[in-house]
Amino acid sequence: MSKFFSDRPNSLRSTRSGKQSKLYRWQPWLVTAGFMVSLIVTMGQAVQAQQKPANAPPQIKALFTGIDAAANSQNARSVVEFFSPNFTHSDGLNRQTLQESLAALWKRYPNLNYRTELKSWRRDGGAIVVDTLTYITGVKKEGDREFKLNSQLEARQRVENQKIVNQEVLNERSQITSGSNPPTLKINLPEQVRGGQEFTFDAIVQEPLGDDLLMGTALEEAIKPEGFIKTTTANLEPLPSGGIFKVGRAPNNAEQHWLSAVVVRHDGITMVTQRLRIQPK
């Protein structure tokens, strides 16, 4: 973490408290049509304009309705039936690892709900490229504490012969809250940067602090298949400046990262995770 983030010069530097809080990496968008393939247009190939979702072919509407239904019933085997046997996507998952990840995820989080909206579609040769927005909500209980999840996912997928063959996430934001009064966070983070580029990552608490003692931290993780089901331990620090103010420098390799902010006070916890796309130099 220290190699990725440093404190903003204009923020108050905090000292490590030594407290730890086990936080689960919530990436429930695995279930949905939440992946995209980068469009590569062959020279001379005609690409049709984007079409309205209401005019989408019936089989496309049925495909995403079926994925949501299978996900809401937490049937991982049924979910992957909507994907091509040769399914790939940029996060490194294939059809088998997708099914395994879903089964592990739902074992830990048995109460997730998925709803996908079609945003636009177009024909690309014999394939159909579909843009979607998926909403994921759920509640998980651990002892006497309840954790609420709200997530939004923008994605594009390539469909051939009524099967999804490629997927990649366009934008992703997940928020987990717990307690009677979880902090409201305003996140400042670019959607994408170039390798080696410096950027800021701020998580600003919107409510007046008063006498509240805030604890928190910023987390970063390269997106890899094993990251979908593992747990993450966060080292919490005092936040005397009313939020988290960090400067990051993107790695030189082109990849995607999850960046998270965790803020804790006596009456609530908030964790926000957003995806950062890193482009080649």
Q: Give the pLDDT score at 232.
A: 66
Q: What is the pLDDT of residue 2?
A: 43
pLDDT score at 43: 30
Let me know the angle formed at the C-alpha of 186 by 205 and 213, rounded to the nearest 5 degrees: 15
pLDDT tens-digit profile, the chain (281 residues): 446 777 775 443 333 334 444 443 333 333 333 322 222 232 333 345 677 788 899 999 999 999 999 999 999 999 999 999 999 887 888 999 888 888 887 887 788 999 999 999 999 999 999 999 999 999 988 888 899 999 998 989 999 999 999 998 888 999 999 999 999 999 999 988 998 899 999 999 998 877 788 999 999 888 765 555 556 677 888 998 889 999 999 888 767 888 999 999 999 999 999 999 888 87
Matching residue, tokens 């790695």? 251
Q: What pLDDT is stored for residue 211 in this prediction?
A: 78
Q: What is the pLDDT of residue 88?
A: 87
Does CATH number 3.40.50.1110 belong to domain 5-279?
no
Tokens of 232: 């993450």
pLDDT score for 257: 87
pLDDT at 226: 58
User: Which strand ranges, in their side-by-side order, compose the sheet holding 5-7?
Assistant: 5-7, 243-249, 198-205, 185-188
Instruction: Take residue 1 and report the two structure tokens written for it.
Output: 């973490």
CA dihedral of 29, 202, 243, 222, whole degrees rounded to 10: 50
Show me where the domains of the chain are located.
Answer: 5-279
